[in-house]
Amino acid sequence: MSRQTKKYDHLASSIPAITPLNPDRIVVNLLDDEIGKTTRSVLAKGLNLAPSAVPYRDFIVAVEPAIRFLPRENAEEVRSQISLALKRDVPPKPNIPWKEKEVLRRLKDNPNIVVLPADKGNATVLLKMNSYYEKVGEILSDPAYQLIPRDPTESLTRKTSILLKKSGLPPETCKGLLPQAAVPPRLYGLPKIHKGSPLYLIVSAIKSPTYPLVKYLTKLLAPLMGHNQHHLQNSTEFGRKLSQFKVEPYNIMVTFDLVSLFTKVPIKNTLNHLESRFDKGITDLFHHTLNSTYFLYQGRNIFLPFPI
């Protein structure tokens, strides 16, 4: 055996072995019937499989808002180059066996089943569609959520534009914060498999009327965070602080699960604190974003009012 071969063997042996994933743990079946080995195998790969076709529309939709601000000739040149690149692109080769591909097709065509990523744990969950709707409906039955008669997207887009012009921010900054072809925020739920499989609701605000503005305001708040004595950056810091306490035998440690935290935020008090740190133009932007909370679910606009 050559010296070089010994080096490679030593290097290979020094790398810890990777334990294969157990499909029974990363695929959670909440259906009434058992699923086959092939179904479990393909779902264990996760939901980020290679696409079967190039998503032309997604590329165009993502690029168009950015090039809209370019001079006309430059924008047309960019569009031409993107179109040429997409035409030359070759769809990726399928990376799954035919049997698993057939399983995915059947799951996709079954209107009674929904496949979702879990809220935590990098698992894939199989759930009955009617059960999914029931879980979401149970949460939305809370009086904090109210149906509104019309879609406020257009009016919120206009108001966002007006407030930005009055904010005192540089014109270049305001230009990047204006919503382009805004759409309503969408609601969806992810199963909490570690807590009996209730749903964790998520509102995707991407491309909503206030999405660029909220991202900008979040950066303004960043320097103010972390100065509270109760602030915890992450679980590592929590473990470090916990190690400094001596727990006696008669002590009891408890944890609290937050329920509907967003609906319990004291907006009036929050705005009072912001008014002491920012001028009126910026405070008006905070007020606008905090009171423009709505989302679309099953074709219905639902408004989320805040307690005063």
Single pTM value for the model: 0.71
Residue 128 lies in a domain: no
CA distance 114 to 135: 13
CA distance 200 to 117: 11
CA distance 175 to 65: 12
Highest mean pLDDT among 43-47, 89-93, 130-134 belongs to: 130-134
Q: How many domains are there within the chain?
A: 1
Residue 211 lies in a domain: yes
Can you name the residues that pair with 27 across neighbouring β-strands? 124
Name the more confident of 37 and 197: 37
Show the CA angle centred on residue 259, arms to residues 258 and 264, nearest 5°: 95
Q: What percentage of the chain exceeds 70 in pLDDT?
A: 84
Contacts of 186 (CB under 8 A, 6+ apart): 203, 204, 295, 296, 297
Under 8 Å between Cβ of 289 and 217: yes
The average pLDDT across 130-141 equals 91
Query: Strand locations in the chain, DSSP E?
Result: 27-29, 113-117, 124-128, 146-147, 186-191, 199-204, 294-297, 300-303
Residue 94 lies in a domain: no
Q: What percentage of the chain exceeds 90 in pLDDT?
A: 27
The average pLDDT across 125-153 equals 90
Residue 217 lies in a domain: yes
Q: What is the pLDDT of residues 14-70, one digit of tens each?
A: 666 666 666 667 898 999 888 988 998 888 888 876 666 777 777 777 777 677 778
Highest mean pLDDT among 6-20, 222-236, 288-302 belongs to: 288-302
Environment class of residue 23 by beta-carbon count within 10 Å: exposed (0-12), middle (13-18) or buried (19+)? middle
User: Is residue 148 predicted with pLDDT exceeding 80?
Assistant: yes
Residue 307 lies in a domain: yes
Under 8 Å between Cβ of 99 and 38: yes
Residue 202 lies in a domain: yes
Residue-range definition of the domain harbouring residue 166 = 142-224+234-308
Residue 245 lies in a domain: yes
Residue 170: pLDDT band with limits 50, 70, 90: very high
Residue 300 lies in a domain: yes
Tokens matching residue 244: 């400094």
Sheet holding 124-128, edge to edge: 27-29, 124-128, 113-117
Instruction: Supply the pLDDT for residue 307.
Output: 38
Instruction: Supply the pLDDT for residue 5.
Output: 64
CA quadruple 236, 239, 240, 244: dihedral, nearest 10: 170
